[in-house]
Structure 1
Amino acid sequence: MISRILMKENLSFKEANLKLSGGLTVFSGLSGAGKSVLFRGILATFGFGESEAKFVELELDDELDLESFGIESESENVFKMLKEKSTKYFINNQSIGKKSLQNLSKSFIKYLSVKDNNEFSNEKFLTLLDTLESAKNPNFNELKENFKQIFQAYSENSLKLNKVLEEEKRVEELKELAQTQIEKISKINPKPGEYEELLKLKKRLSKQDKIEEAWGKANGIFEYEKAVLDALNLSEVDANFFSECFNELRIIAENQKMEELDFDIEALLDRISDLSYLIKRYESIEGALETLELKKKELEHYENLSFEKKELELTSQKLKEKLEKKAQILSEARLRNLGVLQDFLNDYLAKLYMKNLRLECVQNDEMSLLGRDEIKLSVSETKLKNLSSGELNRLRLAFIATECKILNAGRGIIFLDEIDANLSGKEAMSIAKVLEELSRFYQIFAISHLPQLSSKAHNHFLVEKNGTQSRVKKLEKEERIKELARMVSGEQISDEALQFAKTLFED
């Protein structure tokens, strides 16, 4: 529910600051006073249409799903629109794009001046029919849930079966590809850590000649070992340190010799090349080994494909038979309640001075999570798309009212732009009573030129213009009676008009 509206610099409005309660809010006033300007400013803040307002701020106390749009929710959510060179939108001081704002707003706002058929989605019709059946049959919801579970299992099984059928078309090609990879990796037969060890050996081999030449020159030092020991002994110096040092040096020199290693340099280079290929192809030796095991399992899967296909086809057939039975029970229940739903809708359409509609339930070839049923709607043989905007909006109103009556629930905000235009007083009062009933569930905003709708308002605002400036004022009872009388008789308010305005409050 919108609890406050603050608007600045909106064409003829310098500022409008409105505090609201729930229920039905009506804006009335002379033509050209600025009612539509005010209305467009509110709607634009939710991303619907454009407005010339420089600043609009709306406070809502609803619980909204803001987190999925990356915005933190608060107990009082504040929507803002700022217009300078471009228009920017904010919720709780966090920026949001216009498209995201529209998607969010559609979840809780119904704008009945937009030609939108989403109100009459097949899912909504089926929900109402199923609710009517649930009220009579306490086991019906369990049936629906069971149908959904079977349908989900059938869908998952169908996906697996389709995959197997696709694989079957090219199974020989897939087997050959898997076998090729298995043979390639198995032929090389890599070992974890082998590649790194071979690289170290290759590096050592590449400088072996230089190592041998250097140690050939260095070996001359051993010719002086005895002379040094004699000198140390004659000098009565302990020669152990020198002997230990020379022993260490002799071990190092021996370790540099490659004669005892039995290897083929060409084979070493070929091995490194093979391992390098595997690393480039599979990122690592470990990756190649994992792929080897995976391809072995794939090959086994392809070999058993005909058996797997048979099992999936058998399961699919069993699930389909169960679905058909459950779907038939759903269809029969919906057909039983189709007339009841049609009567509910036609009762409201009669109140709204619209012709009767007809609902038809047809069976689709394709099964869905909702079953096979599709509800088709026509108004006196006229298809939905051929209705005028006014007719469509009243039909939407009848559907929303029916939805609230059957579900005993409703949530959000409804915007109506002159829904009572060009109607008689009797027709306007009928619409007013439907809106009064709806206002128990929805907050409703309407522009009206007729006293019947305005008399049912919980918040009645007068929009008036003085020179070039517009202002909006909330009316109390006596002021409302005067405004209703003006709607009846014009600028010169007659006693009869005042008396009629008073009787509207008594209805």
Structure 2
Amino acid sequence: MGAFVIERLLIKNHLSFAECDIAFEKGLVVFSGPSGAGKSVLMQGLLSLFGYGDVHADVIEAVVGEKLGLEAFGFEEEEPNIFKFLKAKNARYFINTQAVSKKGMVELSRTFVNYLSVKDNSEFENSRLLSLLDGVCARQEPDHYERVSKFETLFDEYKTFKEELKQIEAEEQKVEDLKEFARFEIAKINEVSPKIGEDEELLSFKKSLSKKEKIEAAMQKAGTIFDLESSVIEVLTLIETDSSFFDACMNELRLVFEKQNETLEALEEIDVESLLDRIEKIAQLKKRYGSIEEALVHKHKREEELARYENIAFEKSQLEKTVATYEREVTQKSLHISQTRQTYLPLLEARLNDYLSQLYMPSLNVRLEEGVMSELGCDALHVNLGKVDLKKISSGEYNRVRLAFLATQNEFLLSRGGVLILDEIDANLSGKESMSVANVLKTLSSKYQIFAISHQPQLSSVANQHFLVTKDALHVSHVVPLGDAERIVELARMVSGENVSDEAIVFAKSLLESANL
């Protein structure tokens, strides 16, 4: 597998850029130009395509001329691979015409894109430092990553059980109140002992009671129809009409009257006050829980909780044993990981200091100390430049330290190559220091495609490609590749300012000649 290379970048309507279509080569690609021309804007557009930051363009497309192992992320590999962002009705990312979420794009791109901006200090967070050290360890002991991964899983399980124990201990302190409340709610529901559908049945009885007297009077009056039954049959016989239909109707009516009489007799035996009281109790339960079904579910839940409260001492004892077992295993495995890290810590320090020596910087001191136990283990990695904390060094020194870490990270964590995107990594440096940065990046560019913004002629002079970013009178940004003659003029401008001097031209030529040796 060769080095990852962005062969082409297309951007439309991205802030100050109306449109740019740029073809890239392998190696070190530098963008220079006056302040405010749009260099950082262009880099932000490239980064946003890979999910880093918000996209402000209508279209961004990158052609990637290398296999990336996309199958592992659920995408089909093509040649070349096309990464695309489109802002139509909805902003959408695509990989080879397959839609992908921004989060998915970030997860995929972080395997081959590394970014360092002037304002980014996150590379010195403990998690990233330990990740770098683990990369060094894994290079020497390939199963180290598997041990770290298994430890993360083990710690997550340990943390879950510990949280459960903590919750039980908190519950234990107020368990009597919880038990009393659970018993109270269970008793209140048991006092009513509702049955599903009972509320509708009670309301039906109440409705019938309200109409009882009217029904009795109406039935008494309507009952005279049965006295005329024989007369109707006699008429039907005389007119030679089959009376079976009438007999059936009268029998059906008789059944209805008999059933209603039974209901009326049952209503006579009902205690109206008890019925109304029962209806009120059912209504209160429904008001509290929503329905009889929900009240019974709540009762069951409270009964389960009560059983658990009664059993909490046993449950706590079992959890304490589980947590203690996990704690011993977590401690043992984190100690093993720490020992491996400590073994190869000098190798990490040596590689960092090798890069720092090339950058005319004093050596770093890297030490591993015991920290708070986490999914990373119990280690805390501390870095000092000599005896000085990194937070107290100058911006120029700070950037070179970051470059040393970046170079080391890419050596151990992105060993198959990738893209490095740098924003003014050589800011606030002298000519000698700037050239040291240029030489380190030039070495790295044999393996990585590097995109760098620079205001210094040293870095620009060693670039495989040099692009000039300018802004016209209408405040529209443009980017163009520079040939040798144009590069000399731009390098001279970077040396002497807008009024290019003859001395600056001579110096620019010498820089290019040295870079081509």
TM-score bracket, shorter-length normalisation:
0.7 to 0.9
Choose the corresponding residue for 1:177, options 168, 177, 181. 181
SS of equivalent residue, structure 2 residue 129:
helix
> Could you tell me whether the CA contact under 8 Å between 2:117 and 2:422 is conserved in 1?
yes
Matched, 1:403 2:409: yes
The amino acid that maps onto 2:303 is: K
Matched, 1:41 2:71: no
For 1:477 and 1:430, the matched residues in 2 are separated by 22
Matched, 1:318 2:320: no
1:457-477 CA-to-partner distances (Å, cap 9, x unmatched) read 122123568989986431234
118 and 486 in structure 1: CA distance in 2 versus 1, 3 angstrom threshold: closer
The amino acid that maps onto 1:281 is: R
> Could you tell me whether the CA contact under 8 Å between 1:421 and 1:448 is conserved in 2?
no
Aligned to 1:209: 213
> Could you tell me whether the CA contact under 8 Å between 1:112 and 1:393 is conserved in 2?
no
1:286-317 CA-to-partner distances (Å, cap 9, x unmatched) read 22222222222211111111111111112212
Aligned to 2:459: 453
For 1:81 and 1:422, the matched residues in 2 are separated by 40
For 1:303 and 1:9, the matched residues in 2 are separated by 66
Aligned to 1:294: 301
> Could you tell me whether the CA contact under 8 Å between 2:356 and 2:401 is conserved in 1?
yes
> Could you tell me whether the CA contact under 8 Å between 2:13 and 2:59 is conserved in 1?
no
Aligned to 2:350: 343
Aligned to 1:59: 61
> Could you tell me whether the CA contact under 8 Å between 2:29 and 2:449 is conserved in 1?
no
Matched, 1:369 2:375: yes
Aligned to 1:492: 502
For 2:206 and 2:252, the matched residues in 1 are separated by 26
> Could you tell me whether the CA contact under 8 Å between 1:418 and 1:446 is conserved in 2?
yes
Deviation at 1:124, TM superposition (A): 1.9
The amino acid that maps onto 1:154 is: Y
Aligned to 1:386: 392
Matched, 1:430 2:436: yes
273 and 9 in structure 1: CA distance in 2 versus 1, 3 angstrom threshold: closer
The amino acid that maps onto 2:62 is: L
The amino acid that maps onto 1:372 is: C
Choose the corresponding residue for 2:117, options 109, 112, 116. 112
Aligned to 1:357: 364
Which structure 2 residue ranges, 5 or more long, are not aligned?
A: 1-5, 74-79, 95-101
> Could you tell me whether the CA contact under 8 Å between 1:110 and 1:415 is conserved in 2?
yes
SS of equivalent residue, structure 1 residue 214:
helix
Question: Percent identical across equivalent pairs?
Answer: 36
91 and 438 in structure 1: CA distance in 2 versus 1, 3 angstrom threshold: farther
The amino acid that maps onto 2:130 is: L
SS of equivalent residue, structure 1 residue 190:
coil
SS of equivalent residue, structure 2 residue 502:
coil
269 and 433 in structure 1: CA distance in 2 versus 1, 3 angstrom threshold: same
SS of equivalent residue, structure 2 residue 421:
strand
Aligned residues: 477
Deviates more, 1:208-217 or 1:441-450: 441-450
For 2:479 and 2:38, the matched residues in 1 are separated by 9
SS of equivalent residue, structure 1 residue 123:
helix
Matched, 1:245 2:249: yes
> Could you tell me whether the CA contact under 8 Å between 1:148 and 1:369 is conserved in 2?
yes
Aligned to 2:310: 303
Which structure 1 residue ranges, 5 or more long, are not aligned?
A: 69-73, 83-87, 94-99
The amino acid that maps onto 2:8 is: S
Matched, 1:3 2:23: no
Deviation at 1:104, TM superposition (A): 5.8
Aligned to 2:3: none
Choose the corresponding residue for 1:132, options 136, 145, 149. 136
For 1:337 and 1:461, the matched residues in 2 are separated by 41
Deviation at 1:487, TM superposition (A): 6.1
1:293-346 CA-to-partner distances (Å, cap 9, x unmatched) read 222221111111111111111221222122222222222222222222112111
> Could you tell me whether the CA contact under 8 Å between 2:117 and 2:424 is conserved in 1?
yes
Deviation at 1:402, TM superposition (A): 0.8
395 and 230 in structure 1: CA distance in 2 versus 1, 3 angstrom threshold: same
SS of equivalent residue, structure 1 residue 192:
coil
Deviation at 1:410, TM superposition (A): 5.6
1:175-207 CA-to-partner distances (Å, cap 9, x unmatched) read 111111222222322222222222222222221
Aligned to 1:282: 289
For 1:22 and 1:223, the matched residues in 2 are separated by 112
> Could you tell me whether the CA contact under 8 Å between 1:147 and 1:327 is conserved in 2?
yes
1:33-66 CA-to-partner distances (Å, cap 9, x unmatched) read x354221332454579999xx978542346899x
Choose the corresponding residue for 2:30, options 26, 29, 42. 26
Deviation at 1:162, TM superposition (A): 0.6
1:160-183 CA-to-partner distances (Å, cap 9, x unmatched) read 101110110111011111111222
Deviates more, 1:198-207 or 1:404-413: 404-413
The amino acid that maps onto 1:186 is: N
TM-score between the two structures when normalised by the length of structure 2: 0.79
> Could you tell me whether the CA contact under 8 Å between 1:360 and 1:377 is conserved in 2?
yes
> Could you tell me whether the CA contact under 8 Å between 1:26 and 1:448 is conserved in 2?
no
The amino acid that maps onto 1:279 is: K
For 1:421 and 1:322, the matched residues in 2 are separated by 49
> Could you tell me whether the CA contact under 8 Å between 1:212 and 1:256 is conserved in 2?
no
210 and 25 in structure 1: CA distance in 2 versus 1, 3 angstrom threshold: same
> Could you tell me whether the CA contact under 8 Å between 1:410 and 1:441 is conserved in 2?
yes
For 2:245 and 2:10, the matched residues in 1 are separated by 97
TM-score between the two structures when normalised by the length of structure 1: 0.81
For 1:14 and 1:228, the matched residues in 2 are separated by 100
Aligned to 2:514: 504
Aligned to 2:265: 260
> Could you tell me whether the CA contact under 8 Å between 2:237 and 2:243 is conserved in 1?
yes
The amino acid that maps onto 1:207 is: K
185 and 380 in structure 1: CA distance in 2 versus 1, 3 angstrom threshold: same
- For the aligned residue pairs, the C-alpha RMSD in angstroms reads 3.9
Deviation at 1:371, TM superposition (A): 1.0
Deviates more, 1:142-151 or 1:475-484: 475-484
Aligned to 2:97: none
223 and 466 in structure 1: CA distance in 2 versus 1, 3 angstrom threshold: closer
SS of equivalent residue, structure 2 residue 361:
coil
For 2:422 and 2:59, the matched residues in 1 are separated by 17
